[in-house]
């Protein structure tokens, strides 16, 4: 039986993300240093963004019906990537079904190799433009990083599937409607542009 994780401390930053979200990729480039500056634990919470959209009635920015707004979203993404200083390229295979790699993220957490897994999946998706919905591509990425490709098989375990589903449902129940979404206690911070508010909250909690 998998032990139930202890609830996060009030100072824990919970990062709900999906590898298919480019803004989550950019937030991921900022969060570790932000958390370190304030001595706050950073807890990675993989979820399935498509299920969040379905549960909340939201949709991907790529499906924005206002063409000018959709184009400007692309501009915002490129500007944010430049500001964050993280390598970024539009993935030609997008949209990509991320179910397999999100499940494998949970499996990697359970196997104690999440840091190495996370470190290689995001760049493959948003810097190298790999087709991360193709199991053979994902397997080659893992092998190239010295990771066990059996993580993909481990991701199909019932407990792993249930944990990803539970993460997703929890995020929605707490008010999430997209990604990246961070929580500090009960306070929610959505998007890269709200990370400064998260940092301010961490700073205020220390004073």
Residue 3 has what pLDDT?
Answer: 45
- Ranges of each domain in the chain: 13-191
List, for the chain, all residue ranges whose pLDDT scores fall below the cut of 70.
1-10
How confident is the model at residue 10, as a pLDDT?
60
pLDDT of residue 1: 42
Structure confidence at residue 2 (pLDDT): 45
> CA 102, CA 108: separation in Å to the nearest integer?
10
pLDDT for residue 71 = 86
**Model pTM above 0.75:** yes
pLDDT on residue 9: 56
Q: How much is the pLDDT for 55? A: 96
β-pairing verdict for 181-184 and 42-46: unpaired
CATH 3.40.50.410 fits 13-191, yes or no: no
Distance from chain centroid for Cα 136: 22
The string of DSSP letters for the chain reads -PPPPPPPPTTPEEEEE-TT-HHHHHHHTTHHHHHHHTT--EEEEE--HHHHHHHHT---GGG-S-HHHHHHHHHHHHHHHHHHT------TT-S---HHHHHHHHHHHHHT-HHHHHHHHHHHHHTS---TTSHHHHHHHHHHTT--TTHHHHTTSHHHHHHHHHHHHHHHHTT--SSSEEEETTEEEESGGGHHHHHHHHHHHH-
């Amino acid at each position: 039986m998998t032990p139930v994780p202890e609830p996060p401390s009030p100072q824990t930053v919970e990062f709900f993300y999906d590898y298919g979200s480019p803004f989550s990729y950019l937030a991921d480039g900022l969060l570790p240093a932000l958390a370190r500056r304030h001595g706050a634990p950073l807890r990675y919470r993989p979820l399935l963004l498509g299920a969040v959209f379905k549960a909340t009635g939201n949709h991907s920015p790529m499906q924005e019906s206002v063409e000018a707004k959709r184009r400007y979203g692309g501009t915002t993404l490129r500007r944010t990537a430049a500001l964050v200083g993280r390598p970024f390229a539009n993935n030609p295979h997008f949209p990509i079904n991320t179910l397999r790699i999100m499940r494998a993220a949970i499996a990697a957490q359970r196997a104690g190799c999440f840091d190495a897994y996370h470190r290689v999946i995001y760049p493959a998706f948003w810097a190298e433009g790999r087709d991360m919905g193709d199991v053979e591509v994902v397997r080659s990425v893992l092998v190239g990083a010295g990771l066990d490709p059996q993580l993909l098989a481990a991701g199909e375990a019932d407990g792993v599937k249930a944990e990803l589903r539970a993460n997703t449902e929890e995020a929605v129940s707490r008010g999430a409607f997209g990604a990246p979404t961070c929580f500090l206690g009960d306070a929610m911070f959505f998007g890269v542009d709200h990370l400064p508010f998260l940092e301010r909250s961490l700073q205020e909690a220390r004073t």
